Amino acid sequence: MTKRTLTNLRESAIRSAFFASGVLAVLVLVGIFATLVGTALPAFREIDLGAFLTGKTWDPTSPERAEYGILSMIASTLLVTAGALVIAVPIGIAVAAYLSDVAHWRVREIVKPVVEVLAAIPSVVIGFLGIVLFAPSIAKVFGLGHGLTALNGSLLLAVMALPTIISISEDSLRAVPAAYSEASLALGASRWQTLLRVKVPAALSGIIAASMLGMG
């Protein structure tokens, strides 16, 4: 068996392994979804689906009449998610642009690991900080009885999303071919113009993917 044949077999095996991994991931997700749907269907024999989706009250322990309405939960989830993206996406892209094109390499070597360490902070710890730190501050600023609001949740989720958005956006910006920047600078553009009008648009697909992963 020739060396070329062995190389082809190795590549085919690797390709097959990657394909099998992708198919397995999809099958696992389908299995989880099917299990959830299968176990939830019996409940909808007693609960009206329309009332479930449009009801505003969730009170399953009521002694008189249990109510199962998730509209408020859906609305609050969308509100907090949108607020987190409004906060995290601009900051994340700005930090990524700074690390990729502005910061000195020594600064980058310090800041990037610190940013990535934020992703290792448990969500329970961030939630605790939200209760003891952000909530009293928000209540004091806005004159509320408590600070457990959508703004508080948006701030906490933004902190959790920032490491993902920053890391992937920076990788996308650094992956832009150097020829793009060189051509822009050769035409008389400044570094900031090159960054904002050349590199960011060129890396837009990666930045959008970073924002989607951060939202997830």
Mean pLDDT of 8-32: 91
Rounded Cα–Cα distance for residues 214 and 90 (Å)? 12
Are the beta carbons of 40 and 50 closer than 8 angstroms?
Answer: no
Q: What's the pLDDT band for 20 if we cut at 50, 70, 90?
A: very high
- Report which residue type is found at 103: A
Look up tokens 């906490």; give the residue: 156
**Residue ranges in 98-203 assigned as alpha helix (H):** 105-118, 123-129, 135-142, 150-174, 178-186, 191-194, 200-202
164 DSSP assignment = H
Q: What's the pLDDT band for 91 if we cut at 50, 70, 90?
A: very high
Dihedral, CA of residue 30, residue 35, residue 40 and residue 41, to nearest 10: 80
Dihedral, CA of residue 117, residue 94, residue 171 and residue 164, to nearest 10: 40
Alpha-carbon distance values, 55 to 49, 51, 63, 111, 178 (Å): 10, 5, 18, 46, 55
Q: What's the pLDDT band for 60 if we cut at 50, 70, 90?
A: confident
Dihedral, CA of residue 146, residue 69, residue 79 and residue 126, to nearest 10: 50
Residue 77 has pLDDT above 70, yes or no: yes
CB-side neighbour CA atoms (13 Å) of 147: 21
Q: What per-residue confidence (pLDDT) applies to 92?
A: 92
Tokens at 210, concatenated: 């970073």
